[in-house]
Amino acid sequence: MFLLVILIAVSYSCKDSKQKEDYGTKKNDDKEVAVNEIKLSSAEMEKAKGIFFNTCAGCHGTTRKGATGPSLLPDGDGKWPATKDLGTEGLVSIITNGLPGGMPDWGKQGILTPEETLLMAKYVQLPPPPVPEYTMEDMMKAWKLIVPVKDRVTKPMTKRNWQNYFGVVLRDAGQVAIMDGDTKEQVAILNTGFAVHILRTSATGRYFYSIGRDGKVTLIDLWPETPQIVAESKASFDARSVEVSKYNGPKGDFRDKYIIVGGYTPSHYVVFDAMTLKPLKVVNTDGKVLGDGEYREEARVASIVASHHDPIWVVNVKETGMVWLVDYSDLDKIDENTAKIPTAQFLHDGGWDHSGKYFLVAANAVNKIVVIDVENKKLETIIDVGIKPHPGRGTNIHNKKYGWMWVTGHIGEGKLSFIATDPGPNQWKVVHNIKMEGGGGGNLFVKSHPKSKHLWADRALSTEEALQRSIFVYDTETFKLIKTLKVPEKYKGRAVHMEYNKAGNEVWVSVWGKKDENTSAVLIYDDKTLKLKYEINGDWLITPTGKFNVYNTAFDIY
Ligand code: DHE
């Protein structure tokens, strides 16, 4: 049992009931696959590939060599047990019941039926199928320019305060809701990619870019009276990150010239024209782990941020632990102008410090935060934090004793760590830790605002329902817990992800309910009084997760 307990995948993504349509159907060999007395027909193989891709690959990798979760290879990898030794029965039990370190109970939750669970237990005992290619030619075919730039409006046609719009991800609907942050009215609902993951804005804030788990990137124009989709493209079969070029300075004005999408499968990044989404460049991210170790073909792109000080995207390559500083000022030389910095495995999510010169990213398998000095293109330091740090973009807070600090929470333990970022003797030290209420970990996101004295933290991945449905608010001067906010009974699901409005005086929190139950909500709190001020709900509000305020996202205010 101990072996099973350590065979834990931190896999919190996967509520997908619908499968991506195009992955897994590209190479269909029509033959029964039979190994180790496990037999699957080609139809069962296709189904299993789709389920694996949607529910398991995020953490275990499409090639099943492991990342945030362990490897799932029939003969093991020397570190983690062979799936064929765990056997069908053992694997069915894990997939049904989950494991304490984060492997979800897919069976119990009803995400996988008993038949699907059995299928997956068999599938992971077979060798992983090859990862199909997704080429520039495929991208050109998928590209749709819906409204050419010359036909777009030249000034905002709405009287609304569009800079205070929020894009709300309606994850399982594959939609994005545009909400008016002043009136709280819904302005538009737009069909974007499958299991949309995040939104980022253009440098000016006029456009939202959404990225779906199907690798589809969507350009949403916020200036018409009703926001509309003006272009679509597809970067890969699977992706998590999108970012725009934000630099304007002596090296040129690159604001809204390019966007970059980070591919999980295949592992590459793609540069698109930011206004039309025409694909321009694709660069593979495969390479050696930490610069000189094992060669990883599956080297997925995790978080990406854009510098305001240099024409640079910070691209975090998960499996190899390499941070790439991609200079986009000359697309023909983009790869040769990229600084590739070995750091730690496995890189996941991160954000800027207050000065915007340092980027901090979680290497969650080794419980560390990596700090990159982007201006000088070098590794600044690597900091020990708690178990499985998960900052989102982290958040920057200021107090009298320590000056500016960047904060991360953790999935693996109930701890919030404060890292001092101002130059001086404390710089890059964890100057304070908050022990969160209740047992276990489960924090996914933290948030504050330069005008606020509050730090907000969720517990969306806690194993305890009461904690999943609580938001904790701390004083940034004293680090004391001020209030625990409880999701009202009438809404079901987990409280997840916080976002401030433009003025920095309201905080939006998602209640992530089940897809078909109409029990989800977005709750809006007054940041000063911590009173629930407004509730957004309705049958259109399907599985809200991330929320992105136009102004704060464009100017990296977090
Ligand atoms: Fe995320 C950010 C990857 C599961 C909601 N997520 C990110 C980023 C990455 C990532 C690489 C950083 C993007 C950036 O900044 O450029 N997420 C993954 C996974 O691989 C993982 C673990 C599993 C998977 O298969 O997807 C996963 N993520 C989830 C969820 O289950 C969440 C809670 C709900 C959902 O949408 O599926 C979720 N992830 C988010 C959100 C952000 C995010 C809301 C952006 C936070 C921000 O404020 O910037």
Instruction: Extract the tokens encoding 528.
Output: 């000063």
Residues contacting 329, CB < 8 A, separation 6+: 251, 252, 254, 311, 337
Cβ of 510 closer than 6 Å to ligand 1, yes or no, is no
Is position 103 annotated as part of the catalytic site? Answer: yes
Helix, strand, or coil (residue 497): strand
- Here the CATH number for the domain that contains residue 85 is 1.10.760.10
pLDDT at residue 79, rounded to an integer: 86
In this structure, the residue with its CA closest to atom 47 of ligand 1 is: 392
Name which residue sits closest to atom 11 of ligand 1, judged by CA: 302
Scan for tokens 């136009």, then name that residue: 550
Q: What are the structure tokens assigned to 544, written together?
A: 């809200």
In eight-state DSSP terms, residue 184 is -
- Neighbouring C-alpha atoms within 13 Å toward the C-beta of 59: 21
197 is catalytic: no
Ligand 1 geometric centre to CA of 275 (Å): 25
Distance 367 CA to ligand 1 centre (A): 18
Q: Given this model, what pLDDT does residue 414 score?
A: 96
Q: How many domains does the chain have?
A: 1
Residue among 8, 10, 12, 23 whose CB has most ligand 1 atoms within 8 A, to mutate:
12
Q: 435 CB contacts (<8 Å, ≥6 apart)?
A: 414, 415
Domain assignment present for residue 370? The answer is no
Question: Does 234 sit in the ligand 1 pocket, CB within 6 Å?
Answer: no
Could you tell me whether strands 481-486 and 258-265 are parallel, antiparallel, or unpaired per DSSP bridges? unpaired
Region of 264 on the Ramachandran plot (φ > 0 left; ψ -120 to 50 alpha; else beta): alpha
Q: At what angle do helices 83-97 and 114-123 cross, to 10 degrees?
A: 160
pLDDT of 100 over the 90 cut: no
Task: Report the atom number in ligand 1 closest to the C-alpha of 264.
Answer: 20
> Residues of the chain with pLDDT > 90: what percent?
85
SS3 at position 295: strand
Evaluate whether residue 209 is within a structural domain.
no
> Measured between alpha carbons, how far is 552 from 247 in angstroms, rounded to an integer?
17
**What is the rounded distance in angstroms from the CA atom of residue 80 to the CA atom of residue 68?**
13
- Structure pTM? 0.92
Q: Which of 1, 14, 45, 56 is the catalytic position?
A: 56
- How high is the pLDDT of residue 250? 97
pLDDT tens string 414-447: 999 999 999 999 999 999 999 999 989 999 999 9
Q: What confidence category does residue 311 fall into, taking pLDDT thresholds of 50, 70 and 90?
A: very high
Question: pLDDT-derived band of residue 31, with 50, 70 and 90 as boundaries?
Answer: low
Q: Is residue 11 one of the residues assigned to a domain?
A: yes
For the chain, the first-to-last Cα distance in angstroms comes to: 42
Residue 240 Cα to ligand 1 midpoint, Å, equals 7
Residue-wise pLDDT tens digits, 50-59:
899 888 998 8
Largest Cα separation within the chain, whole Å, is 67
Cα–Cα dist 472/491, whole Å? 18
Asked if residue 265 is part of any domain, the answer here is: no
Residues of the domain holding 48: 1-132
How does DSSP classify residue 110? T
Tell me the CA–centroid distance for residue 154 and ligand 1, in Å.
33
Cβ proximity of 497 and 544 under 8 Å: no
Residues 229-273: tens digit of each pLDDT: 999 999 999 999 999 999 999 999 999 999 999 999 999 999 999
User: Residue 18 pLDDT > 50, yes or no?
Assistant: no
Flag whether 69 is in a domain.
yes
Q: Is 60 a catalytic residue?
A: yes
Instruction: Examine the pLDDT at 487 and tell me if it is beyond 80.
Output: yes
Average pLDDT score, the chain: 92
Residue 19 has pLDDT above 80, yes or no: no
Query: 261 CB under 6 A from ligand 1?
Result: no
Residue 94 maps to a domain: yes
**Distance between Cα 496 and ligand 1 center (Å):** 11
Q: Residue 14: CB within 6 Å of ligand 1?
A: yes
Q: 171: Cβ below 6 Å to ligand 1?
A: yes
pLDDT in the model for residue 109? 80
Known catalytic residue at 139: no
Q: In the prediction, which pLDDT does 193 show? A: 80
Q: Is any atom of ligand 1 closer than 6 Å to the C-beta of 211?
A: no
pLDDT tens across 269-293, in order? 999 999 999 999 999 999 999 999 9
How far is ligand 1, taken at its centre, from the CA of residue 197, in Å?
Answer: 6
CA 444 to ligand 1: nearest atom: 33
pLDDT in tens, 495-550: 999 999 999 999 999 999 999 999 999 999 999 999 999 999 999 999 999 999 99
348: annotated active-site residue: yes
Give mean pLDDT, residues 389-408: 98
E strand spans, 152-274: 165-170, 175-180, 186-191, 198-201, 207-211, 216-221, 228-234, 238-244, 248-249, 252-253, 258-265, 268-273
Tell how strand 186-191 and strand 175-180 pair up: antiparallel
- pLDDT score of 54: 84
Quick one: which H or E segment has residue 87? helix 83-97
Residues 45, 60, 275, 405: which is the catalytic one? Answer: 60
Alpha-carbon distance 372 to 311, whole Å? 16
Catalytic residue among 14, 45, 268, 390: 390
Could you tell me which of 493, 484, 392 has the C-alpha nearest to residue 437?
484
* Residue 13 pLDDT: 39
How sure is the predictor about 391, in pLDDT bands with cuts at 50, 70 and 90?
very high
Task: For ligand 1, say whether the CB of 12 is within 6 Å of any of its atoms.
Answer: yes
Report pLDDT digits (tens) over 453-464: 999 999 999 989
25 pLDDT band, cuts 50/70/90, is: very low
Atom number, ligand 1, closest to the C-alpha of residue 460: 33
User: How many helices (H) does the chain have, and how many strands (E)?
Assistant: 9, 39
What dihedral do alpha carbons 147, 151, 157, 161 form, nearest 10°?
50
For residue 253, give every residue at least 6 positions away whose Cβ sits within 8 Å of its Cβ, in sequence order, or none: 247
User: Which is nearest to 141 in space by CA: 224, 62, 232, 64?
Assistant: 232
One-letter amino acid for residue 35 of the chain: V
Q: Is residue 108 part of a domain?
A: yes
Bridge partner residues of 486 (DSSP): 470
Q: Where do runs of H (alpha helix) occur along 313-457?
A: none
Establish if 32 belongs to a structural domain. yes
Q: Ligand 1: does its nearest atom lie under 6 Å from the Cβ of 168?
A: no
| Residue to mutate, 55, 198, 211, 301, ligand 1, most ligand atoms under 8 Å from C-beta | 198
Question: Is residue 461 lining ligand 1, measured as CB closer than 6 Å?
Answer: no
